[in-house]
Structure 1
Amino acid sequence: MTEKTVQTQARGVLLPLALAQFICSFAGSNMNVMINDMSEDLNTTVQGIQIAITVFLLVMAALMIPGGKLTDRYGRKRLFILGLIVYGIGALISAVAPGLPVLILGNSILEGIGTALLIPPVYILTTMLFHDLGARAKAFGAISAMGGIGSAAGPLIGGLITTAISWRAAFVFQALIIVVIVLLSRNIKDPLPPDPTREFDVLGAILSAVGLILIVLGILATDDSLVLMLVLIASGALVLLGFFLSVRAKERAGKEPLLSTSLFRNRTSNLGLITQNAQWLMLLGFSFVVASYLQVVRGYNAIETGIIFSAATAGLLVSSLAAGPLSKRFAQRTLILAGFALTVLGMVLGLFIVQGSQTAWAFAPGLLLTGLGVGLMLTPSVNVVQSSFPESKQGEISGLSRSVSNLGSSMGTAIAGTILVAGIAETPGQNYTVASLALAAVGVIGFAAAVFLPRKISPAEETTP
């Protein structure tokens, strides 16, 4: 395949890839404005809906690494289409769910599995088809923008659909988008053929998934029992230690593990992964906190909550679309630092304004700055991580990158929800403050990690062993 052919195809596949990222991100946030409607219709509680949201994000995080690895064996397009089909089936099951268990099956499990299969190919194909750093940044900018818009606009779109029709129609909307993506994906071709002889580390896949699940379950158990929380988190850490020991043993035996230990020896990539985790933790966590506060404390309905969130959507849309041009003028590190600064400022500013006002639009300035900040740093963080490795490692690093990002999403919802449900403070308003400050503290950690990123990021070259 010639370079010209690859670039022509790249432009043709960008739309379905970006739409795929949009719908998966949409699914992670649109339920936030349906909390009251869904809990009443399904005869459950706000905490029950929080669990469904968290499990969806957790399934993505736990299976994203295996999903990325399977692309080498079965092909990127094949996994992409399979993921879309599984996701679509899950959306339709969710739309007719009679209770919380069926909702968890459709939304949390099937949509989570589908996302884990289809998202790694999105980033692998983008990296393989766009070799120039500027062109790749622009492509990642479009995909990250659609992902960010999906997360930020999820409450608005979900609120509109819920108010006009029903929360169930929001899942039908997802299924329809999936059909469109499948049709647009007919002309996608793999830059590299699949290799059915590639090994798949089943033990590693199980250990990595179980370890991540135990850690997030530990966070969710905080309000039930401190001892249970510590036991689950410690168990998760031990399982992940077993995973890394298993990886090292396979490498020493000359076998192919789920992840190469070389992925963790790249300082730039490691720092980029920390920033990715922090970004999605803040975005999804803050979205859940604000949506819960607006509905539970202020009593706003789905559409009112969604409209208020339009400030974050506008900010994220503007900064994400500007990511490509900005990457040509500023270093990736500079954009990430500025993004964290704006996001933390938006959260803190929002607290001060909201506490002194009962006006719904008091949330707008903080949400606008938060959206601008997250949109500004999503693309450069992805670019930093993906560009740190050659094409031969893209399956692994893409899976790891998306897993770390989705782990951040699930941890953000789990941490925020746990603080709100646990009732740490005396009033619901104070719980909102505590949760927001906890998320802002994560932003400070992300900012500190970004400080140590190199000023110049160059695409990695293939090396001969």
Structure 2
Amino acid sequence: MDTTIERARRGALLGLAAGVFCIQWDAFALNLALPQIRHDLDAGGTGVQWVVSSYLLTTGMLMLGAGRLADLFGRRRLFVLGLVVFGAASTLCALAWSLPALVAFRAVQGVGASMIMPAGLSLVTHVYAGHRPGRAIGWALGLGGAATACGPVAGGWLTEALSWRAVFWLNVPLTALAVLWSRRAAESRDDGAPRHLDWPGLLTATAGLGALALFLDRGSGWPLLPALGTPTAAVLLLVLFVRIQRDSPHPVVRLALFRNLPYVVLTLTGAVANTALVLLLFLVPLSLQSEWGLPADEAGAAFLAPTAAIALAGPLAGRVPPRRAAPVTAACLTVGAVALGGLAGAAALGRYELYLASAVVGGAAFGTANALTLVITQQIVEPGRAGEASGVTKTVITVAAGLGVTLSGAATQRTGPSQTGPSQTGQAALTALAAGCLATALATAAWHFRAARRREDAHASEDGTARPWPLRGRR
């Protein structure tokens, strides 16, 4: 019996790890294949960017609803469905005959990805309930995060040696293995909730998040009217979503979730960390080639160190107890802010060793903070609504990733055709983000110690040993 349960747990963990690997693989291996895709599919202008944008749009739109759907209809069921959709879409991407077909199949791939992460996180949380679920999620994120380390190098090698289609073909056997592993896990759902779906809330949230994701990903350079109208529509739709959730008897997201201050704090700090992490992941490999003059293969080899640090962050985050999550996250953001400053300073001074060391430290710091958000937020919410919580967290982090991509575009912008050093815009982006990380770290630390003081006073009051706060102006 114990062996069967352990096999079920291991299956869920390996399934989540494989799902994370596929998602990370697509993110980092595909970027290097875009030039060949443009050539092979005769994609002129910026059309090839929709290969990335269509995926991000569907993922960002649907992840919120997917988390609650997993709670209601089965976490394993939705996780397996996401893997099947992702694998099937990867097959179609590999067979794509034109750019519009590839863009459409990438959008379907994003639908699968939107189910994999929230359903997989909540599935592992329940399978390992009472048996260190944080460590299990940390190991799954670490194993899956290996794609972050090998993606740029292996993706470039596959594209040159075989074809960009090989990047998609690799997903097919991995998703098949993930399905086989995950089917060992016992099904779990929110048994106390009726199987009713808040369709008005779900559709409103999907439309609002879609408009926001579209603006963040494609809004740069838009004319004034759509540049103002799209984010305005997103805000209005999301405000309407909140009103619908307040009045709905079966909401997609219970507003009480946002009264869970530890959850809110960790989600917001995770969003800041992910913004910085995405900036670092896009900026460093491009800078190694454009600013430091490294060939593509040497730049990929040098980039292994920062990405390996990110991959190792998952198991490290899994060992942090929930009560220590806030101060550890604040420390990570502080170290990360210093690392971002190091990137800007090293580029300005021409110090390659300092630049690479800052990238490694920043990868480890932001990777740990990001993984902590995914690990700990699952442990501090009601078990029956773990999917809902993971959907909200992943949605916020995904929107933050869109902001990171926007900032990375600014950070790599040149002020002139002959400029070889870092642009003033890039320096400003790094400096502003470093300041934001430091401010978030200070606010998180202040909140944590204030909350700890209140808990101590409450415990002391129960024991009859509480002392009143000293009054100002009295000795």
TM-score, normalised via structure 2 length: 0.83
The residue that corresponds to 1:367 in the other structure is 359
Match for residue 158 of structure 2 among 161, 178, 181: 161
1:202 aligns with 2:199: yes
Quick check: 1:158–1:306 contact (8 Å CA) kept in 2?
no
Tell which deviates more after alignment, 70-79 or 30-39. 30-39
Report the Cα distance in structure 2 between the residues aligned to 1:329 and 1:207, rounded to whole angstroms: 33
The residue that corresponds to 1:31 in the other structure is 30
Tell which deviates more after alignment, 76-85 or 283-292. 283-292
The residue that corresponds to 2:469 in the other structure is none
Residues 57-84 of structure 1: CA distance to partner in whole angstroms, max 9, x if unpaired? 2321211111111113321122111111
The residue that corresponds to 1:337 in the other structure is 330
Runs of 5+ unmatched residues, structure 2: 456-475
The residue that corresponds to 2:341 in the other structure is 348
Report the Cα distance in structure 2 between the residues aligned to 1:45 and 1:277, rounded to whole angstroms: 34
Quick check: 1:28–1:57 contact (8 Å CA) kept in 2?
no
Tell which deviates more after alignment, 276-285 or 112-121. 276-285
Question: What SS does the aligned partner of 1:387 have?
Answer: coil
Residues 24-63 of structure 1: CA distance to partner in whole angstroms, max 9, x if unpaired? 1222232233343333333346854444324322321211
Matches within 5 A, 1:40-189: 40-44=39-43, 47-107=46-106, 109-132=107-130, 135-189=132-186
Quick check: 1:285–1:415 contact (8 Å CA) kept in 2?
yes
Closer, same or farther: CA 24–449 of 1 in aligned 2, 3 Å: farther
1:308 aligns with 2:305: no
Report how far residue 370 of structure 1 moved.
1.8
Matches within 5 A, 1:400-415: 400-415=392-407
Report the Cα distance in structure 1 between the residues aligned to 2:90 and 2:407, rounded to whole angstroms: 26
Question: What SS does the aligned partner of 1:367 have?
Answer: helix
The residue that corresponds to 2:247 in the other structure is 249
Runs of 5+ unmatched residues, structure 1: 459-465
- Please give the root-mean-square deviation of Cα atoms over the aligned residues, in Å: 3.2
Quick check: 2:56–2:213 contact (8 Å CA) kept in 1?
no
Closer, same or farther: CA 69–94 of 1 in aligned 2, 3 Å: same
TM-score, normalised via structure 1 length: 0.85
Question: What SS does the aligned partner of 2:80 have?
Answer: helix
Quick check: 1:317–1:375 contact (8 Å CA) kept in 2?
yes
Report how far residue 201 of structure 1 moved.
1.6
Quick check: 2:410–2:426 contact (8 Å CA) kept in 1?
no
1:264 aligns with 2:258: yes
The residue that corresponds to 2:385 in the other structure is 393
Match for residue 277 of structure 2 among 274, 277, 283: 283
The residue that corresponds to 2:472 in the other structure is none
Report the Cα distance in structure 1 between the residues aligned to 2:251 and 2:322, rounded to whole angstroms: 39
Structure 1 counterpart of 2:180, one-letter code: L
Quick check: 2:283–2:408 contact (8 Å CA) kept in 1?
yes
Question: What SS does the aligned partner of 1:454 have?
Answer: helix
Report the Cα distance in structure 2 between the residues aligned to 1:170 and 1:212, rounded to whole angstroms: 28
Match for residue 443 of structure 1 among 414, 418, 437: 437
Structure 2 counterpart of 1:101, one-letter code: P
Structure 1 counterpart of 2:100, one-letter code: P
Quick check: 2:56–2:110 contact (8 Å CA) kept in 1?
yes
Report how far residue 167 of structure 1 moved.
2.1
Report the Cα distance in structure 2 between the residues aligned to 1:300 and 1:317, rounded to whole angstroms: 24
Structure 1 counterpart of 2:406, one-letter code: A
Report the Cα distance in structure 2 between the residues aligned to 1:240 and 1:329, rounded to whole angstroms: 30
Report how far residue 385 of structure 1 moved.
1.8
Quick check: 2:140–2:314 contact (8 Å CA) kept in 1?
no
Report the Cα distance in structure 2 between the residues aligned to 1:358 and 1:92, rounded to whole angstroms: 44
Provide the identity percentage: 25
Residues 191-249 of structure 1: CA distance to partner in whole angstroms, max 9, x if unpaired? 44879951112221221122122223333323233443222111111111011111112
Number of aligned pairs? Answer: 448
Quick check: 2:20–2:117 contact (8 Å CA) kept in 1?
yes
Question: What SS does the aligned partner of 2:219 have?
Answer: helix
Report the Cα distance in structure 1 between the residues aligned to 2:39 and 2:436, rounded to whole angstroms: 33
The residue that corresponds to 1:21 in the other structure is 20
